[in-house]
Amino acid sequence: MKTFLFLPVLLMAVLFTGCTKKYEYVTPNQTIFFDVAATDWELIPNQSWVVTLPIPEIDGRVNQDFGIVVSISGDNGGTYEALPEVYAGFSYSYTHTQGSLSIERQLPNGTPGGAPEGAVRVKIVLVESQQ
């Protein structure tokens, strides 16, 4: 008799307990690489050296809503340093606007210092964010 009562209870437990599906949205990132030659930098007198990179992927929405992470490498991509950073004795920072990203290089005391001597590899990651 107990087995007859236990069977419906077991059947109800199987029917009424269900799995809930959990959907996770993976936010895609986009990575862009640039090779910047020493001759690509322009001097802003008494201020800094600057290179402006054309990046059409930075549209109005990206410029306002996404995170933009910039790293540089002096050894062709072997090691990256995230900006802002003091790298090889120079202070690097960046700004972005719709369609471009500018990297500034100067001595930590605020003077431009000497011209860049070697090429650097720049990695830019556009990180989508949800509001």
Domain-wise residue ranges, the chain: 27-127
* Distance of alpha carbon 94 from the chain centroid: 12
Q: Which amino acid is at 113?
A: G
27-81 tens-digit pLDDT: 789 999 999 999 999 999 989 999 999 999 999 999 999 999 999 998 989 999 9
> With 60 as the cut, is the pLDDT of residue 2 above it?
no
Does 13 or 67 have the greater pLDDT score? Answer: 67
Q: Please state which architecture CATH assigns to domain 27-127.
A: Sandwich (2.60)
Does 111 or 1 have the greater pLDDT score? Answer: 111
Percent of the chain exceeding pLDDT 90 equals 66
**Rounded to a whole number, what is the largest CA-CA distance in the chain?**
96
> With 60 as the cut, is the pLDDT of residue 1 above it?
no
pLDDT at position 66 is: 93
pLDDT at position 111 is: 93
Structure tokens at 10: 């077991």
pLDDT at position 73 is: 94
